[in-house]
Amino acid sequence: MKELTVVEPGKLRWLDKPSPKLKTPFDAIVRPIAACNCDLDRRLIAGNTPFKTPFAIGHECVAEVLEVGTGVASVRRGDVVSVPWKIACGTCAQCAAGRSTACTGVQKYASFGVPAGGHWGGLFSESVCVPFADAMLVKVPDKVDPVAAASVSDNLTDAWVAASRPLAARPNGKVLVVGGTESLGILAVQMARAAGAGEVDYFDDDDARNELARNSGATLRPGPGTDLHENYDVVIAATRAHDRLRTGLLALRAGGHCSCIGIMFDDPPIPLFQMYMRDVTLSVGLCGVRPHMPRVLELIRDRRCDPMIVTPTVVSWEDAPDALVAPIAKAVLVRPRITATAA
């Protein structure tokens, strides 16, 4: 089979690899049919992360199930499923607490498409073995387009958690999204609205993203002036810039919460004293998407969000090496199914 691999910084290549096989009765073999690049992937491909090449790329996809082990009960051949980026057993204490990113049943940081915890394959590959299939795979509802659901594996669900968790404790709260990443900020605008925000503002310096944010229902804010300062119940910092994170933190009202979802590989200065004086909180970390994926799929089905607004480019699987290094925010790779729906 073919596996899309980052062979060196900036260079992708299809490599021939042995086709995956079931290793345990609880595994499934899936074939991605709609996959897209996460906001992190561009940096992974460019070599702007701590991870060394070569490694298989891709950790957001919808797939068709090709084969299941004898112990798998929730899916069968022909089912269309969303595949979470993080490998997790679903039964350890961390998984039971909703922290699949800290699963103790597998190697630490084990995931598809990111070589932080071993090599598990990438979701742009021809096929992939998914361990703990019953715990991991989520069926995609019939009325949900696999192309629209491609980013449920990570980015779209990350945006939902960043918005819904703090808004649950701050109903009708005023939200500021600080943009800067390719798609997360725009998705966060949509998810804040879906989670019941009273108002959603957006701050960025990119004209294209500003237009997408406006089309997603946000009010644009021109800069970190006094109109932002101490004016928001919730801030979603979808940025990698230190000064923009600081702007977001200082924009919090007393008792506010900032969800930082832009990955920073260095250590930004944090205005701790100002945060202390306003009793605000900051959350940052890998998002355990699996518990939230069914709800996000419902939001797509009910048209409460439109992930396609950040993935207007749809290309064939064969074009992946060029599309994933092109200067576009997010692309979806698609190919037809080879399984019939199971009878």
DSSP 299-316: HHHTTS--GGGG--EEEE
Indicate if 58 and 93 belong to the same structural domain: yes
CA pair distance 17, 106, nearest whole angstrom: 23
Query: Do residues 72 and 91 touch, judged by C-beta distance below 8 A?
Result: no
Predicted local confidence at residue 191, as pLDDT: 98
* Closest listed residue to residue 310, CA positions, set 202, 194, 188: 188
Ordered mean pLDDT values, 10 residues apiece, the chain (343 residues): 94 94 97 94 90 94 98 97 97 94 94 92 96 98 95 97 98 97 96 98 95 96 80 97 95 97 93 95 92 97 95 88 80 91 45
CA pair distance 29, 132, nearest whole angstrom: 11
Last residue of a domain, one of 267, 284, 301: 284
Could you tell me if residue 326 is inside a domain? yes
Could you tell me if residue 341 is inside a domain? no
CATH of residue 233: 3.40.50.720
Token couple for 300: 């797509």
CATH of residue 52: 3.90.180.10
* Closest listed residue to residue 191, CA positions, set 221, 166, 223: 166
Indicate if 138 and 273 belong to the same structural domain: no
Backbone angles phi, psi at 96, to 5 degrees: -60, -30
Domain that holds residue 35: 2-154+288-334
Could you tell me if residue 192 is inside a domain? yes
Indicate if 19 and 135 belong to the same structural domain: yes
Indicate if 12 and 148 belong to the same structural domain: yes
Residue with tokens 């506010």: 256
* Closest listed residue to residue 149, CA positions, set 285, 32, 272, 65: 32
Could you tell me if residue 102 is inside a domain? yes
Could you tell me if residue 6 is inside a domain? yes
Indicate if 36 and 144 belong to the same structural domain: yes
CB neighbours of residue 149 within 10 Å: 27
Indicate if 280 and 293 belong to the same structural domain: no
Predicted local confidence at residue 341, as pLDDT: 52
Indicate if 201 and 121 belong to the same structural domain: no
Indicate if 143 and 192 belong to the same structural domain: no
Could you tell me if residue 342 is inside a domain? no
Indicate if 174 and 47 belong to the same structural domain: no
Q: Compute the C-alpha angle 275/236/184, nearest 5°.
A: 150
Could you tell me if residue 132 is inside a domain? yes
What percent helix, strand, coil does the chain show, rounded to 5?
A: 25, 25, 50
Indicate if 130 and 180 belong to the same structural domain: no
Number of domains in the chain: 2
Residue 249's SS3 state is helix
Indicate if 160 and 149 belong to the same structural domain: no
Indicate if 64 and 207 belong to the same structural domain: no
Could you tell me if residue 343 is inside a domain? no
